[in-house]
Amino acid sequence: MWRDAALVAGKDLRIEARSRVATNQVAPFAVLVLVLFGFALDPDRGILVRASAGLFWVAVLFSALLAVQRSFAIEAVDGGSDGLRLLGLDPAGIFLGKAAAVFVELVALELLLTAGVVVLYGVDLGGAGLMVATAAVATLGLAAAGTVYGALSAGLRVRETLLPLLLLPVLAPVLLSATRAWEVALGSSVDDGWRWVQLLGVFAVVYVTFGLVGFGALMEES
């Protein structure tokens, strides 16, 4: 299973590295979202700094949608998903691999967006441990849930509009928890930030488990 996962993750990441869709389209899109927030909320920096945790995670959520869509679009052409099945790869391994690839892409995006928040909004970073832990656990949840829903809507005719409708309500707790934890880390609210990390952990565990168990059924026929 782990070997299969590494193979699939390697394949997806290599495709991304060569096609440069992630670097040339998704990353600029994410930064553009940050700039648009700057237009929408008066660059009177008070609002932007206070809202920066929420804006950051909204930008991550939108980029995650693109990343998941992209992750299944590369399988859709030339019967890629049939090929994966015919290779006799373990479905749980395929799930882990695809989720891992999305995870890596999202982490890269988050680094970029963090830089964007610091440069564009003038946020002072703090509480590094809490920030990193939150980002890691939240991204794991995003990648796992995203991969499950990507597979659910893969191969359907209206998947471009269906995926956001299916995925965004499910990810609402991630947005909520990650934002609260970052607000604590950035010092704009006083709360027990680690409690939110625990909730994010539960979310991640639930969806990773779901993916490991259910991905076989999803891949069987599509």
Chain residues that interact with other proteins, rule: CB under 8 A: 145, 148-149, 152-153, 155-158, 162, 165-166, 168-170, 172-173, 176-177, 180, 191, 195-196, 199, 202-203, 206-207, 210, 214, 217-218, 220-222
Of the pair 72, 207, the CB lying nearest other proteins is at 207
Of the pair 84, 218, the CB lying nearest other proteins is at 218
Residue 45 Rama label (left phi>0; alpha psi -120 to 50; beta): alpha
Of the pair 31, 138, the CB lying nearest other proteins is at 138
CB of 143 to other proteins, least distance (A): 15
Closest C-alpha among 121, 108, 102 to residue 56: 121
CB of 132 to other proteins, least distance (A): 21
CB of 31 to other proteins, least distance (A): 28
CB of 125 to other proteins, least distance (A): 23
How many angstroms separate the CA atoms of 188 and 185, rounded?
8
Of the pair 42, 191, the CB lying nearest other proteins is at 191
CB of 220 to other proteins, least distance (A): 8
